[in-house]
Structure 1
Amino acid sequence: MTTIYLIRHGQASFGAESYDKLSPNGELQAKVLGQYFDRILKESPYVVAGSMQRHQQTANLALAECFPEAQVDTNNAWNEFNHQQVFAQYEPRFNQPHLLKEDVSKHENPRAYLSKIFEGAIERWTGGEFHHEYDESWPHFKNRVETALEKLCNQLAETKPRYAVVFSSGGVISVAVGKILGLSPEKTFALNWAIANTSMTTLRLVGNEPQLLSLNEHHFIKAVDPNLLTWI
């Protein structure tokens, strides 16, 4: 029976011109993840990662700590939605990422403020009225992720590895879990906001059907250093 680990990437560069790069903290998170894998995985896993830089960096840094010989299959079906465009369509000034970061940093409760913006932006994106304004609409993104999960499960049901590890993003993982649990878009993206950097969401494959075993495991990060734990 195959166990699938869905991994959110390490902390990226929020507010920078290019978000798609791990911060120094994110690099350390990825190494801690790899060290944890070295303790819990008994053999080299099948590995797939999205094509985004933060996915590839997280995969390579983690695997260097546990299974440096493992090959990474790259598949852009596991890429995140364009969150910067989703923010910008909700509030045009956020087309400049540093302005969003400035607004958040000035607020008395930065995480609560960003959560409010995120909820509004996601509600607009998933609501149905504005699908035509996005490069990738919510229905297309949802279908892409669900198809990627289905194809992976069918592949693993045939090849039967003991472990599979998928390096991806919070939105992707939330949609995968939402599909398994039959969640609404609102509840799906409530999960997205809670998924920590380099956390593990674990699935068990029964036949070719995934079952949720755990969501957002991140205590292995806190055990090393509570200050390493991030959600943004």
Structure 2
Amino acid sequence: MAELLVIRHAQASFGADNYDRLSELGHRQSELAGAALRESGWLPDRLVTGTLTRQHETLASMGFSQPPETHAGLNEYDFHNLLSVRFEGQVPDSVRHDRKTHFRTLRDTILQWQAGGLHGAAESWRQFTDRVGAARHFATQTDARRVLAISSGGPIGQLVASCLGAPDAEMMALNLQVKNTSWTRFFFSKQGFTLHEFNATPHFSSAERAKMLTYS
């Protein structure tokens, strides 16, 4: 069977005016992830990313220079928009700048979204799941045997939840676990799509590198 290795982008710029850029640490995380793939002998024969800057910067810093194909289905849901809709444009400072408050609030917001709330959001929950499914189809309808995709926590959580037939709410539980530059691996063929590995970070396995592990 062929492999689809989905890697979450490296650390972005949490709390900055432009979140969609890697931090200095994010570039270093990407370099380590790319080096670990090459050291293991796993070299992709197809590259796919979403359209977000942090995803493209991750791939570039991993050291894979060939131009990737892009599919917007690998992009994150627009959490800025969802929070803005929930708070009617007045998102509290603590939600925007305090990590614990942000992710606790985000979890509750996504559960509302999944249940059909947040009317007026730029994207519905069903539109999100449909585009993630389209991205999976795009990445796996190929003769390539090793497909490397750079995505984000939400789509990765949804790919895993849908593969396992889990309830919608499980997507968010998975989403919040996904580490920056972690590896989630699927096997695929014309007959099936199965999860093989979730959220692995072998490039942070040493005590020194473990300090580089981040979630946002």
Asked if 1:138 is matched to 2:125, the reply is: yes
> Match of 1:78, as an amino acid?
L
- C-alpha distance in 1 between matches for 2:195 and 2:203: 19
The answer for the alignment partner of 2:137 in structure 1 is: 150
The CA deviation string for residues 141-175 of structure 1, in whole angstroms up to 9 with x for no partner, is 0111012212322x22xx1x231100010001111
1:100 to 71, 89, 95: 95
The CA deviation string for residues 29-86 of structure 1, in whole angstroms up to 9 with x for no partner, is 1111110111123444210001100010001111x2xx44x33112222111101111
Backbone CA RMSD of aligned residues: 1.8
- C-alpha distance in 1 between matches for 2:137 and 2:120: 28
Number of residue-to-residue matches in the alignment: 214
Contact 1:93 1:99 in 2 (8 A): no
Contact 1:222 1:228 in 2 (8 A): no
Asked if 1:87 is matched to 2:75, the reply is: no
Structure 1 stretches lacking a partner, 5+ long: 105-109
Q: Identity percentage over the alignment? A: 27
The answer for the alignment partner of 1:218 in structure 2 is: 201
Moved more, 84-93 or 12-21: 84-93
Higher helix share: 1
Q: 5 Å matches for 1:10-89? A: 10-62=10-62, 64=63, 67-68=64-65, 70-89=66-85
TM-score computed with the length of structure 2 as normaliser: 0.91
The answer for the alignment partner of 1:171 in structure 2 is: 154
3-state SS in 1 of match to 2:176: helix
Q: How much does 1:129 deviate?
A: 3.2
Structure 2 stretches lacking a partner, 5+ long: none
Distance of aligned partners of 1:163 and 1:142 in 2 relative to their CA distance in 1, 3 Å threshold: same
TM-score computed with the length of structure 1 as normaliser: 0.85
Q: How much does 1:18 deviate?
A: 1.0
